[in-house]
Amino acid sequence: MTAPRVLLLVPARTYRAADFLTAACRLGLDLVVGSDGALPLGGRPVVPVSPGDPERSADRIIASTGPVAAVVAADTPMLIPAAVIARRMGLPHNPVDAVTAACDKAAQRRRWAAAQIAQPTFRVVPAAAKEDALRRAAAEVGAPCVVKATSLSASQGVLRADDPAAALAAAQRVREVLATAGRPGPEPLLVEEYVPGPELSIDGLLTAGALTVIAVFDKPWTPEGPTFEETLLITPSRLAEPVLAAAIYAAGQAARALGLTHGPIHAELRIDERGGQARPVMLELAARCIGGLCSRALRFPGGTSLEEMVLAHALGRPVPGHHGGRPSGVLMLPVPRPGVLRAIEGQAEAAATPGITGLSITIPVGQRVRPLPDGDRYLGFIFAEGDTQDRVEQALSVARDRLRVVIQ
């Protein structure tokens, strides 16, 4: 029997390549890889793909690879090229304009507003706007507010401001982050209401617009600002069932309001408890699965990984369903300060902590590092399992405290 051919689009800068390649091998796929840079693939050929020119990339892919059974993007920069190529090949895919909207936080907010999706009050401030426009936007959404870049992800370029003057300073810093990140041109900023309350993320797969939930993570250590590093994620959620059901419903509605119909989504929400009611509020939604190495905290029936589920779903195969194993979690290690990483001491002690199932350091010693909101990388990831969510959280906390980060 001939193995299905799958086109996997992998950005050169991603955590996700190895896990998707392992998943493709476990599924016995004939994999074709496209990328915008060199990848350590052991000699496997890579077809050049430019995220900034998806139509020409589609021409190149179609000419060089021949027919494939599915197209999968491993991470955010390849989402639009994947949608374009799948459309050109006549394969199941999200509409290109829906993926484009999901990659633009301002467009996302506008579509949700039109569909009356619960979200923070927001204003879009044009790139050329004067200081008065920023002050007015901050005053209109109320204090505190959050100032965001519209094109970045993973909490990069996101800052809390407690008054209009602080919003001006935050906007200036966000524009500096955008310039350092090499964005192609000026872009508007989002100024939006700060929503307090517990935060969670929902991962699922869309089939003809219907959402199948595969994992829900609580984020019990989510900061209140001024920056918003993601650190601790615990699954399954400890939220009350009615609140969790409302959050899942909101995520599905938000995906459909963007026009997404097929493949993975990763939704971020807060539970607004003001006024005595627990109301899910959409923060962001991406047309991909959870980022970083966080998917390694999940295991499905038969030892299936999240990446295997994404690839199998792209081929129209049934997927095992919701993560239903022991409570598990992942702790992302944020960069504490700028400088050159000299050492991460105590790794053996951290890995030996009861309940810890893995520790992966992802930035080599000797590299210059920057904390959020300027940087876009974590020092590494710690994984744990336990009989209860509390024990998972405790194990990850103890392991973190045994690490000593040396930055000069």
Contacts with 220 (C-beta within 8 Å, 6 or more apart), sequence order: 198, 232, 234, 393
pLDDT at 299: 82
Q: Is residue 310 part of a domain?
A: no
Domain CATH code at residue 182:
3.30.1490.20
pLDDT of 298 over the 90 cut: yes
CA 385, CA 301: separation in Å to the nearest integer? 16
The Cβ-side half-sphere exposure at 78, using a 13 Å CA radius, reads 28
CA 382, CA 384: separation in Å to the nearest integer? 7
Distances (CA, A) of 72 to 6, 217, 289, 354: 8, 23, 11, 37
pLDDT at 322: 67
Q: Are residues 13 and 57 in the same domain?
A: yes
> Bridge partners of 358?
383
Contacts with 279 (C-beta within 8 Å, 6 or more apart), sequence order: 118, 246, 271, 272, 273
Q: What pLDDT band is residue 303 in, cutting at 50, 70 and 90?
A: confident
pLDDT at 21: 92
Q: Is residue 175 part of a domain?
A: yes
Q: Are residues 103 and 131 in the same domain?
A: no
Q: Are residues 100 and 214 in the same domain?
A: yes
pLDDT of 348 over the 80 cut: yes
pLDDT at 109: 98
**Residue range 164-216, pLDDT digits in tens:** 999 999 999 999 999 888 776 689 999 999 999 999 999 999 999 999 999 99
* Phi, psi dihedral angles at 216 (to 5 degrees): -130, 125
pLDDT of 319 over the 90 cut: no
The residue-averaged pLDDT of 85-95 equals 95
From 363, 356, 357, select the one nearest 398 (Cα to Cα).
356
Q: Are residues 246 and 112 in the same domain?
A: yes
Domain CATH code at residue 353:
3.90.1170.30
The Cβ-side half-sphere exposure at 284, using a 13 Å CA radius, reads 22
Q: Is residue 53 part of a domain?
A: yes
Q: What pLDDT band is residue 155 in, cutting at 50, 70 and 90?
A: confident
Q: What pLDDT band is residue 94 in, cutting at 50, 70 and 90?
A: very high
pLDDT at 153: 84
Q: Is residue 314 part of a domain?
A: no
Q: Is residue 213 part of a domain?
A: yes
Q: Are residues 341 and 222 in the same domain?
A: no
Out of 193, 221, 254, a domain closes at: 193
Mean pLDDT of the chain: 93
Q: Are residues 253 and 367 in the same domain?
A: no
Out of 232, 266, 291, a domain closes at: 291
**Residue range 208-239, pLDDT digits in tens:** 999 999 999 999 998 888 988 888 999 999 99
**Residue range 4-32, pLDDT digits in tens:** 999 999 998 888 889 999 999 999 999 99
pLDDT at 14: 87
Q: Are 23 and 308 in contact, with CB atoms under 8 Å apart?
A: yes
Strands 30-35 and 5-10: parallel
Q: Are residues 200 and 278 in the same domain?
A: yes
Domain that holds residue 28: 5-93
Out of 291, 318, 345, a domain closes at: 291
Q: Are residues 207 and 265 in the same domain?
A: yes
Number of DSSP helices (H) and strands (E) in the chain, helices first: 11, 19
Q: Is residue 309 part of a domain?
A: no
| Side chain identity, residue 189 | L
Domain CATH code at residue 35:
3.40.50.20
How many structural domains does the chain have?
A: 4
pLDDT at 184: 65
Q: Are residues 100 and 199 in the same domain?
A: yes
Q: Are residues 160 and 265 in the same domain?
A: no
Q: Is residue 61 part of a domain?
A: yes
Q: Are residues 331 and 391 in the same domain?
A: yes
pLDDT at 289: 94
Hey, which bits of 274-351 come out as E strands?
279-286, 328-333, 339-345
The residue-averaged pLDDT of 145-173 equals 92
Q: Specify whether the backbone of 292 is left (phi greater than 0), alpha (psi in -120 to 50) or beta.
A: left
pLDDT at 257: 98
pLDDT at 385: 97
Q: Are residues 284 and 356 in the same domain?
A: no
Q: What pLDDT band is residue 323 in, cutting at 50, 70 and 90?
A: low
The residue-averaged pLDDT of 350-372 equals 96
Percent of the chain whose predicted confidence (pLDDT) is above 90: 79
CB atoms within 10 A of CB 128: 8
Q: What pLDDT band is residue 324 in, cutting at 50, 70 and 90?
A: low
pLDDT at 34: 92
**Residue range 41-81, pLDDT digits in tens:** 666 788 889 998 999 999 998 888 889 999 999 999 999 99
pLDDT of 129 over the 90 cut: no
Q: Is residue 305 part of a domain?
A: no
